[in-house]
Amino acid sequence: MSRVNHRDTLLTDLRELQRRLRLLEAAKVAAKPAAALALPPTRPVDWPATTSPDWEDLFDATTRGGVLELRWTAEEGTTGSVRVLLDGSQVGGELTAGAERGTDTVPIAGGAVSVQARRTSGTGLVRVAVFLTA
């Protein structure tokens, strides 16, 4: 911002623009629904993965409700299971992960959401990508 009785310079103009952009970005983030998360990566190799035989969290969020879009797969020769938990209780059934990609949508009420996966056979990775919409 310019000082009183001083002429604006390019530097003061730039600082003012930057200040306004920061305010706009902060307002945009504050107005964004809590449940809106970035799209998952498109390549399965970039998805979160596990080799654990025990349930492992691959996604955690707190939401006011919405729809989870799940995508899962397992490496060749490996199978696994995927499940969705809402406030610690399983929502829907377990999904079986294999070499073929699977997709499903799960409507959820508000609360703490976790997507877990585990390897049930083989030595490879079980991968899961999650997209949450409000």
CATH number for position 107: 2.60.120.260
Q: Are residues 23 and 48 in the same domain?
A: no
pLDDT of residue 25 exceeding 80, the answer is no
Mean pLDDT across the chain, nearest whole number?
84
Of 45 and 105, more confident: 105
66/128 Cα distance (integer angstroms): 18
For residue 125, tell me if it sits in a domain: yes
For residue 37, tell me if it sits in a domain: no
The pair of structure tokens assigned to 59 is 């996604």
The type of residue at 81 is S
What Cα–Cα distance (Å) separates residue 16 from each residue in 5, 20, 30? 17, 6, 21
The pair of structure tokens assigned to 104 is 């499903």
Q: Are residues 61 and 120 in the same domain?
A: yes
For residue 107, tell me if it sits in a domain: yes
Q: Are residues 26 and 54 in the same domain?
A: no
Structural domain for 6, as ranges? 1-32
33: which DSSP letter? -
Question: Residue 132's beta-bridge partner residues?
Answer: 68
* pLDDT tier, 110 (very low <50, low <70, confident <90, very high otherwise): confident
pLDDT of residue 26 exceeding 60, the answer is yes
What pTM, to 2 d.p., does this model score?
0.69
pLDDT of residue 124 exceeding 80, the answer is yes
Q: Are residues 28 and 49 in the same domain?
A: no
29/8 Cα distance (integer angstroms): 30
pLDDT of residue 35 exceeding 50, the answer is no
pLDDT of residue 86 exceeding 60, the answer is yes
Q: Are residues 51 and 73 in the same domain?
A: yes
When divided into structural domains, the chain yields a total of: 2
For residue 11, tell me if it sits in a domain: yes
The type of residue at 99 is A
